[in-house]
Structure 1
């Protein structure tokens, strides 16, 4: 009997050799390193909330209301002022210096200069429906080249409609070391015959519109005048006089 044939298994040549599996992520690297760079740069908007605009809207509304109220008040005040102007037709008062008398201007033994003046101060109220209350606390001064010669005050009184009031204001003053000033006055009187003076007045007043009395305010008057002399107890001629006036609340 023929020998039995031995059958040995032959490996499959066509099948690929089995190798150990290759890891998908290299050693020492992270998974995020292998992502697409474009995907890494994209921010995550999933947790971003829109800003709240409610507070800004409230602020804008408050500002608009405030501006509207201010504009309305300005319009109302303008209407009241316009009506008052048409009803009362206010005019500024007028002031002038109409006379000056020197009762004393002499040097004492200690070289102090004593001066006493009487000033004729005229106040005119040209308004038909406005009165003026002249309150206390006023002062009026006379100056020569920046030096105050004397000082006085305007008395309290009420000036009615279309009224002219003439006040004789006594004024006095004393200047220490006045010998130089006295010499300058005498030289200017002899050389030019003109002595420039400045009169300044500050007066608290209250304006009366019909039956309404306004709060107190102040007016100031400046009068530039030129006299021919400052000789005591002699007639003094005022060659020029110019007064300016303004109110101060």
Structure 2
């Protein structure tokens, strides 16, 4: 039996060494020089919904800021051009036509009040609108109430207003006793006249929205006698807008 020679494969020096290819694994991260890729995951994609919401909020705030600046600039320009002044009120005459204590201890009253309203502005008119209220108080007791007429007051104008008021105060026995004692001791009686008046201001051809003004007049009279003109010893009025 003949022996066959063994053939050994020769090494080819020009053949390139086969490099193992990287495994194709879905979701694999590239290896970093600083460590394991599992410790440094890729950043998640941005959410577009949150970015759009932030843009809308920023735009709204910017528009509001511009609106506030525009309104402030307009008010400042009107103030510099027209130089507005508050109106002035004074109580000129006060007459008591009814002042009677009833059998049920209620007090019936009726006043006639003459008021002078002054508008000292050179370029501003005032519209006195409906819905006003004028009241007469003694301490915490409301004696009478009424309303002012609707009218327009022009520039640098003084308007005399005549108002009739009436009312009824309950449990007025204590009020009558206090009035008599105060008149005997001090010689005067303090009354308070309040006015709640809606007005509209006119700047040139521009008519602004309706606002309310409050007037408080502290009046000292010599007595409260029915069917007599009450002597006003002193009076002072404060005028302020209602915000």
TM-score, normalised via structure 1 length: 0.75
Q: CA deviation at 1:57?
A: 4.8
Q: Does residue 41 of structure 2 align to residue 48 of structure 1?
A: yes
Q: Residues of 2 paired with 1:43 and 1:216: CA distance?
A: 73
Q: Deviations over 1:3-46 (max 9, x none)?
A: xxxxxxxxxxxxxxxxxxxxxxxxxxxxxxxxxxxxxxx97627
Flag the structure with larger Rg. 1
1:185 aligned to 2:217?
Answer: no
Instruction: Let me know the Cα RMSD of the aligned residues.
Output: 2.2
The whole-number CA distance in structure 1 between the counterparts of 2:63 and 2:170 is 59
Whether 1:241 and 2:235 are equivalent positions in the alignment is yes
Q: CA deviation at 1:54?
A: 5.3
Give CA-to-partner distance per residue, 1:180-232, whole Å, 9 cap, x none. 21121112111111211111111111111212222222111111111121112
Alignment equivalent of 1:161, drawn from 145, 151, 155: 155
Give the aligned partner of residue 37 of structure 1. none
- Report whether the alignment pairs 1:115 with 2:88: no
Aligned-partner Cα distance in 1 for 2:102–2:208: 48
> Aligned to 2:116, what secondary structure does the other structure show?
strand
Q: Which of 216, 230, 235 does residue 224 from structure 2 map onto?
A: 230
Instruction: State the shift of 1:64 in Å.
Output: 3.6
TM-score (norm. length: structure 2): 0.77
Name the counterpart of 2:123. Answer: 129
Pick which of 160-169 and 227-236 moved more. 227-236
1:128 is displaced (CA, Å) by 1.3
**Does 236-245 or 61-70 show the bigger shift?**
61-70
Shift of 1:117: 0.9
Residues 181 and 46 (structure 1), Cα distance of their counterparts in 2 relative to 1, 3 Å cut = closer
Structure 2's unaligned 5+ residue stretches are 1-34
